[in-house]
Copies of this chain bind each other. A is one copy, B any other.
Amino acid sequence: MSGNTFGKLFSVTTFGESHGPAIGCVIDGCPPGLALTEADIQPELDRRKPGTSRHVTQRQESDTVEILSGVYQGVTTGTPIALLIRNEDQRSKDYGNIAESFRPGHADYTYWHKYGVRDPRGGGRSSARLTAPVVGAAAIAKKWLQQQYGTVFKGCMSQLGDIAVPFQDWSHVPNNPFFAASGDADLIARMEAAMDALRKDGDSIGARIEVVAQNIPVGLGQPIYDKLDADIAYAMMGINAVKGVEIGAGFKSVEQKGSEHGDQLTPQGFIGNNAGGVLGGISTGQDITVSIAIKPTSSIRTPRQSIDKDGNPVMVETFGRHDPCVGIRATPIAEAMLALVLMDHALMHRAQCGDVKVHTPDIAL
């Protein structure tokens, strides 16, 4: 209810603050009988963890996950799975200077007014660090969905500031520091140069991320409010710094005509995927395609106008270690959120229609 649980049937309740003793989550609703060890989860955490290149925060965290419950002899038992990640690199002094004032673009002002008290250390609860437990939980969902339906998740950065990153092939994603699906060395070099210049200027930049889910059954999603695309929009907009979400054709659909937008069907499958894999809130079996806008990091060294708790004008510059583009590490996070949404809907569909009715499309797609 209070907003720290994601999902209804595959429910992930997270806890922790950026610089508290630990962060983690409790996953309730994981089906029993799934083979699971930390080794299934750690690789996903490593994809999003800080310090992997000079273009992201240099905070050093191993993000080592410990499974505290819900698994016996390497198999899930159907009881809650608790994941614990101890915080290792807490340099609170880096943040001390913002305890009394509000950083532009940050949650400082709103937390202060909502709660009348806040944990300012590293942004406390509002830190992007809190995406780690979610990525851990999603690793479990990904494994279950993969085994059940062969579902796979892919993501990449399609734009960095004003630099477009044309899609070439998914295979390129792990081979550059930006999750770019491109093998264009010059392009990557331009992105590196742009990031170096930003860091030098003490500024930051936004990005656009694309995520795709492939091989999912037809029929996942609810008709009216808990539409599959509505829950995806909720999940994506819930990621730190996201300001926009598109499904399929997204905003391009504004200028499309019905004769152009509506994906025609043939015995060989759908022609096109303007729908992004969702019609009437329910999956078509096509790829689910999502695009999100990530705002530039709010923590920058450039001095900015703000006020303190007493309303007096102050200048704020944020030192410490920050991602000059939070969009870079957003790719595995966006994949994770998409996986959690599909997992929840897969279980909900079983409740309503029984698993025998969960099937793959009966027409080629």
Complex partner residue of A110 from B2, B113, B198, B282, CB under 8 angstroms: B282
Does A26 lie within 8 Å of B15, measured CB to CB?
yes
Q: Please give, as numbers and ranges, the residues of chain B lying within 8 Å of A223 by CB-CB distance.
A: 3-4, 79, 107, 111, 125-126
Q: Please give, as numbers and ranges, the residues of chain B lying within 8 Å of A3 by CB-CB distance.
A: 28, 221-227, 281
Interface size for A (C-beta < 8 A) is: 158
Within 8 A of B (CB), among A110-160: 110-111, 113-119, 121, 124-126, 130, 159
Query: How far is B102's CA from A322's CA once the two chains are assembled, in angstroms?
Result: 50
Q: Which of A198, A259, A349 has the most CB of B within 10 A?
A: A259
Residue of B nearest to A303 (CB): B259
Q: Please give, as numbers and ranges, the residues of chain B lying within 8 Å of A124 by CB-CB distance.
A: 72, 77, 79
A131: min CB distance to chain B, Å: 10
Does A284 lie within 8 Å of B68, measured CB to CB?
no
Flag whether A264 is at the interface (Cβ < 8 A).
yes
- How many copies of this protein are present in the complex? 4
Asked, given contacts A23-B69, A69-B17, whether A264 binds B104 with beta carbons under 8 Å apart, the answer is yes
- Dominant secondary structure of chain A at its interface with chain B: mixed
Q: Please give, as numbers and ranges, the residues of chain B lying within 8 Å of A110 by CB-CB distance.
A: 218-219, 221, 278-284
Query: How far is B223's CA from A285's CA once the two chains are assembled, in angstroms?
Result: 33
Complex partner residue of A350 from B82, B294, B302, B351, CB under 8 angstroms: B351
Complex partner residue of A107 from B130, B281, B299, B313, CB under 8 angstroms: B281
Asked, given contacts A15-B81, A32-B116, whether A68 binds B267 with beta carbons under 8 Å apart, the answer is no
